[in-house]
Structure formats: C-alpha cells, structure tokens
Structure 1
Amino acid sequence: MQPIDAYLAELKDPAAKKTLGALRMQLRKLLPGAVETISYQMPTFKVDGKAVAGFAFFKSHCGYYPFSGSVVPALKAQLDGYATSKSGVTFPPDKPLPAKLVKTLVQARLAEIAASGKTPSATKKAAAKKALITERVTDSAVKGETGRDWKGWMRALDAAGAGELSHKQLVAHLAREVESTWWQQSIAVAYEQARGKRVVGETAATGFQVGVVRTLPISAHDMWERIATQAERWLGAGATLTLKPGAGYEVPKRRGVPGVRGEVRVVKPGQRIRMTWQPEGWKKPATLQLTLVPKARGVSFHVHMEKLPDAKAREAMRKHWSRVLEDLV
C-alpha cells in the first residue's frame, strides 16, 4: 500500500476521505509523474524532489498546502472567502475546493519554481505546449494581481529600458510597483523570455533539458524487466548494460547514428535509473533519467534529460526518445 493510500484509509471522517480522495485524483492529472509521498505528516506531490502540493485533514477541516510562502498571498483575490494563512488554505470536509481553484494553485506553484530557474521535469509534457510564463499565466490573472496585463507589462518595461537590466536589477525595478515577490519574479522571467534574454528550456542549474512521457499498456514490473534485460531496445543496437551504480556502458556507432557512452549513477529497482549520456561529438555528458510510474492500466514512462549542449540537441533528443518509447511495447 502506498503512503497516501494508508493515510486516506485511516481517516474516520467519511466526507474528508471522499473530498481528499478526489483531490488526490485531480492532482494526479495535473501533475503526471509526480512522486506521491508523505511530507510534514501530510500527503504530498513532489516533482524532482520539489514539493508542489499537499493536503491534510485535521479535527474539523481540510487543508491544501502549496509548500510556498508566496503562492497563497499572490492569489488572495481568488481565495476570497476561504480561511488562509501564508502557507495554506483551509476548507470544510463537505465543501471541496473547486477544481478550477486547485488548478490555479498548482499552476502558481509550478510557475514559481520555473521563475526560480528550477523547472521540474515532471511538467515537461505540459511545458511543451505552454513553455512561456505568458502562456501559463492568463492576462486576467496578472492584471488582477498587478494592474497590467502581459502586453501592458511588456510596453511598460520596454519604456523603462528594462532590456538593459540584469535579472536582479529587473526584479528590483518591479519591486517598486509589485509587492509580491512571486509576481516580481514571474513578470521578470516573462519579459526576459519575450525579449530573447532567456531561452525556454534552459535553466541556470541544468542547462538545456527535455522531457518525454508516454503511458504504455504494460505493467511497471514487466517494463522494468524489459529495460533491465533488453538494453538494445532502448539504448541502441549492440548495447550492453549492467544496472549497477558506477557501471559504464557503450552503444556502438551505426550508419548515420553516432555511438554513445556513459555511466550508471543511480538505480532504484522497478522505479528509476539515472545515468550519463554522451554521444560522439558532445564535449560534455548530459544526464538521462528514466522513471516508471504505475498506472491503473499500465505504466507511465518518463524520460528526462538535462545538461544538453544546445537547443538543437534538445529537439533531437525529444524526437529520439519519442521514437524509443513508441517502439518499446
């Protein structure tokens, strides 16, 4: 039994059990591939180690927690009528948070992480469609909280000469008009993206990165066996692999396809592999992580790469791993 299953099973209040069970299912849809665990004694959804959403039941009320001191204050208008603190929202067990509001809270937390330069890989599927902050956060949301829509902010910052400012200087400039540090960072990053000062898909910590996710009609156990015993099917023809930290591997060069070498770094049987990936011609290795997430009707297979050399390599790897996952079944 998973930790959150056990938590929900122990709830004595039927309304709370129903409400939090439904909330859990919504979070699964909003955060595909997130790790479900218990943190601070509450069910928590984590993406690449970052807590994005959590919930809990107390004696007479339920609570939702974005694991941030900025998200709830930034959404003060949307949360009007709810009891809030800097870190969370509370509500009666028989009156669940509206699905739209939960989605807004999750998006705000993800945008906060993105603005800090640490975009979680488990959001890459959604980010492929809405990679820009201006596409993730609506005009009405930014205008309601800051007084200007995105076009208004672009014009105002252009007029202020923001194109010549560093990120730190830009945030300091925004602080004169915007009180929320979350909105300061979000507007700054949105402006940098719009004016070509920040490349979508590149972060300070992990360089260019990409994620590919597929849900496959096979059990997580069987897929792990396939990965462990049939390396050629996902690494390439002629590849051999020992799933042991520190073990090296090589994929022979083929016509039109460069050879690849690397080293296994982390192995969590049945769950995850983390390794380096360095094709011929790359000066430095990238990092490759494969994660399996059991589903009711199969397994969600997540491929995440970071420290890629450039945008061209990112797109090449996106296509490569999409083909690999299609051929795995």
Structure 2
Amino acid sequence: MENQVGKTKDVGFQFGIRKTFPVSSEKAWDFLFSNSGLNIWLGKLKNELEIKKEYETENGITGIVRVFKTNSHIRLNWKLAHWENVSTVQIRVIGNQTRATISIHQEKLLNDVQRTEVKAYWNEIIKKIGTELLR
C-alpha cells in the first residue's frame, strides 16, 4: 500500500495549516470570534455559535461545537452542504503579546478529493484572515 498525503491510520484524511501574524494572541482570538472573523472562516451564521449546540451558516455549513476554550481553541463538527460525511475542525491560537499563530486542522475527511477541497478552502481563508486582521 502506498502512502497518501494526509491519510491517517485512525481518522481518514486530514489537512492542517498555520500562519503567524504580528499581533497578540488575544487580538487574533478576538478577531476570529468577531462577526467579521466568523464570517470569514465559518460563514454568516443563521444562529448563535454555542457549545454543544448545532449551528448552520447561510452558505450551508452545519455542525456542532464540541469544545470552546476562550483564547485557546475551538473544536467543532463541520459539514459542507454537498458532503455526506461530517468532519472535525479545530482552530487554535498560540502566541504571546506580539505574535499569534492561527492553526487550523481538519480531520475525518473521506478521501484525497475532500482533502484537496478543504486545502483550497483553508488556504483562501487564512489569506482573508491575514488581510482583515492586519488592517
């Protein structure tokens, strides 16, 4: 069996991206969970984002928030409208008063096609986050 990029033994395919920005970790976190930030990485919400509650965006992403630890990370189920499966996304902010790394990790992807799809999605999202965060 040949190794495939992003394939894990236990959770299907995965993708991760991280980028460091010249802002405090608190500023990065606050931005990600502001209306502007949420609209970028998740989409415009139809309801509030709450722990252990289902959410839905206007662009058809659905899921449940599993873990929310302020100024640290969020872990949520994440499903695109055209997918049959549910994946898991974790966004973490790591840093200090002068630098923040935003780390996005997605797992439980069905195959390399989904991995390629989310890779393009998150690469675009991290660029948009950078543009808006550094304004």
C-alpha RMSD of the superposition: 1.7
**When the two structures are superposed, what TM-score results if normalisation uses the length of structure 1?**
0.37
Letter in 1 for 2:122: W
Q: Which residue of 1 aligns with 2:14?
A: 209
CA distance in 2, matches of 1:310, 1:280: 17
Higher relative contact order (CA 8 A, sep 6+): 2
Measured after TM superposition, the shift of residue 229 of structure 1 is: 2.2
1:165-176 residue pairs with structure 2 within 5 A? none
1:278-293 residue pairs with structure 2 within 5 A? 278-293=79-94
Are the structure 2 counterparts of residues 212 and 202 from structure 1 closer, same or farther at C-alpha, using a change threshold of 3 Å?
same
Letter in 1 for 2:80: P
Are 2:28 and 1:223 aligned?
yes
Q: Is the 8 A contact 2:71 2:93 kept in 1?
A: yes
Q: Is the 8 A contact 1:201 1:210 kept in 2?
A: yes
Decide which of 51, 55, 59 is 1:249's aligned counterpart: 55
CA distance in 2, matches of 1:226, 1:199: 35
CA distance in 2, matches of 1:296, 1:220: 6
1:170-189 residue pairs with structure 2 within 5 A? none
**When the two structures are superposed, what TM-score results if normalisation uses the length of structure 2?**
0.85
Q: Which residue of 1 aligns with 2:61?
A: 260
Measured after TM superposition, the shift of residue 295 of structure 1 is: 4.3
1:17-28 residue pairs with structure 2 within 5 A? none
How many correspondences in the alignment? 128
CA distance in 1, matches of 2:94, 2:84: 32
CA distance in 1, matches of 2:102, 2:53: 23
Are the structure 2 counterparts of residues 326 and 303 from structure 1 closer, same or farther at C-alpha, using a change threshold of 3 Å?
same
- Between stretches 223-232 and 270-279, larger displacement belongs to 223-232
Q: Is the 8 A contact 2:23 2:97 kept in 1?
A: no
Decide which of 298, 313, 329 is 2:114's aligned counterpart: 313
Q: Which residue of 2 aligns with 1:232?
A: 39
Unpaired runs of at least 5, structure 2: none
Q: Is the 8 A contact 1:217 1:297 kept in 2?
A: yes
Q: Which residue of 2 aligns with 1:130?
A: none
CA distance in 1, matches of 2:27, 2:47: 17
Q: Is the 8 A contact 1:273 1:291 kept in 2?
A: yes
Q: Is the 8 A contact 2:24 2:97 kept in 1?
A: no
1:126-165 residue pairs with structure 2 within 5 A? none
Deviations 1:96-123 (A, max 9, x none): xxxxxxxxxxxxxxxxxxxxxxxxxxxx
Measured after TM superposition, the shift of residue 243 of structure 1 is: 4.5
1:83-122 residue pairs with structure 2 within 5 A? none
Percent of pairs with identical residues: 27
Letter in 1 for 2:117: A
Measured after TM superposition, the shift of residue 296 of structure 1 is: 6.0
Deviations 1:23-66 (A, max 9, x none): xxxxxxxxxxxxxxxxxxxxxxxxxxxxxxxxxxxxxxxxxxxx
Measured after TM superposition, the shift of residue 306 of structure 1 is: 0.3
> Greater share of strand residues, 1 or 2?
2
CA distance in 2, matches of 1:274, 1:240: 19
